[in-house]
Amino acid sequence: MPDDAAELLQLQHRLDKETSFMLLEPDERQSNVQQVQEMIGKFAAADTSTIIGAFAEGRLAGYISVMGESTRRNRHSAYIVIGILKHYHGKGIGTRLFNEIEAWAAGSGIMRLELTVMTHNEQAVALYTKSGFAIEGIKRKSLRVNGEWVDEYYMSRLFG
């Protein structure tokens, strides 16, 4: 909900600092609470996009966002971003978030979910594989993290 914007932005900033597996570096996120509220509103209004938060111990512990496409040729496809605080890794939150997305996709017309993940992020690759995603290819030298080149897997899950 838009009322969760401040907590979501705080979570995103924590994730940027806590792990190098997210796209943005700690000082790179420029959004403010109003922009996050607007983004949440756009996701809520779109048929092919959603964002779901995972709450634990009364606070936001993770989230998954699905951004769908809008043209007729790729409206069936959506891109996923997921982030979970390290303290909550291995507690089933990622699996539950993917289960929620699967249920949502069934009613949204989405036939393809896709994501990218750094090839050395073994824990995430295992979660995505467990959730029905398959590696489609490798994006070589996709990112530069701490001065080193990092490859990413393209992964997808098809429905129907």
CATH of the domain at 65: 3.40.630.30
Q: Is residue 134 domain-resident?
A: no
Q: How confident is the model at residue 4 (pLDDT cuts 50, 70, 90)?
A: confident
Residue-level pLDDT at 63: 94
Q: Which domain holds residue 48?
A: 2-114
Residue ranges of the alpha helices (H) in 3-157? 5-18, 33-45, 93-108, 122-130
Q: Which residues contact 118 (CB under 8 A, 6 or more apart)?
A: 21, 124, 143, 145, 150, 151, 152, 153
Is 140 a domain residue?
no
Would 150 be classed as within a structural domain? no
Find out whether 8 and 17 touch, Cβ atoms under 8 Å.
Answer: no
- For 1-12, b where at least 16 C-beta lie within 10 A, e where not — what string? eeebbebbbebb
pTM (two decimals): 0.89
Residue 128 lies in a domain: no
Residue 19 pLDDT more than 90?
Answer: no
Q: Is residue 158 part of a domain?
A: no
Give the C-alpha separation, 6 to 34, whole Å: 9
Domain count, the chain: 1
How do residues 79-135 score in pLDDT, each as one tens digit?
A: 999 999 999 999 999 999 999 999 998 888 899 999 999 999 999 999 999 999 999
97/54 Cα distance (integer angstroms): 7
**150 pLDDT tier (thresholds 50, 70, 90):** very high
pLDDT value at position 44?
Answer: 85
Confirm whether 121 is domain-assigned: no
In a domain, 67, yes or no: yes
CA dist., res. 60 & res. 87, Å (int): 12
Question: What's the half-sphere exposure (Cβ side, CA atoms, 13 Å) at 97?
Answer: 28
Domain assignment present for residue 155? The answer is no
